[in-house]
């Protein structure tokens, strides 16, 4: 059995690939429903070509919609999503991603291809599973 280290394992082995995403013109209420229905705390926002445009997190909704209150049914997700994103690519190592997450105090990092198209998401939970089976 091969022993892997975080410097050897590529994020493509640990990232979540089947993502729940939202179109950039989604309403906040629609994204909240997806978060509840799929039990996720983060929804990547993509354009029609699948290019990552932002992330909406549970914290974004609380800080920008709930407190202070806003008209959630009328708000567009583009107004509240995080746009200044830190990303990685499928060839990044787990060690690279752990360093970025630690230094920037992040719980998740989107994985994008050369055209910034979303291909996955690495979360702190994905990394917690490191050391299990990577076949």
pLDDT in tens, 99-119: 999 999 999 999 999 999 999
Instruction: Identify the bridge partners of residue 89 per DSSP, sorted by sequence position.
Output: none
Q: Average pLDDT, stretch 63-68?
A: 84
CATH of the domain at 59: 3.10.580.10
The parent domain of residue 109 ranges over 11-128
Instruction: Identify the bridge partners of residue 121 per DSSP, sorted by sequence position.
Output: 16, 110
In the predicted model, is pLDDT for residue 24 greater than 70? Answer: yes
The two tokens of residue 90 are: 């499928």
Please report, for residues 32, 59, 70, 72, the alpha-carbon distance to residue 27 in angstroms, rounded to integers and kept in the order given.
9, 16, 12, 8
| 6 part of a folded domain | no
**71 pLDDT tier (thresholds 50, 70, 90):** confident
The two tokens of residue 16 are: 């979540």
**9 pLDDT tier (thresholds 50, 70, 90):** confident
| 80 part of a folded domain | yes
Lowest mean pLDDT among 59-63, 105-109, 113-117, 125-129: 125-129
Total domains in the fold of the chain:
1
């Amino acid at each position: 059995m091969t022993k892997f280290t975080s410097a050897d394992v590529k994020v493509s082995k640990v990232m979540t690939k089947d993502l729940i995403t939202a179109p950039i013109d989604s309403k906040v209420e629609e994204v909240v429903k997806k978060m509840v229905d799929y039990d996720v705390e983060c929804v990547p926002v993509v354009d029609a070509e699948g290019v990552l445009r932002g992330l909406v997190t549970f914290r974004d909704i609380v800080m920008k919609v709930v407190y202070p209150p806003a008209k959630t049914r009328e708000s567009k997700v583009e107004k509240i999503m995080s746009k200044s994103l830190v990303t990685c690519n499928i060839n990044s190592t787990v060690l690279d991603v752990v360093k970025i997450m630690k230094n920037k105090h992040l719980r998740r990092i989107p994985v994008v291809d050369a055209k910034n198209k979303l291909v996955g998401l690495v979360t702190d939970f994905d990394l917690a599973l490191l050391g299990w089976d990577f076949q």
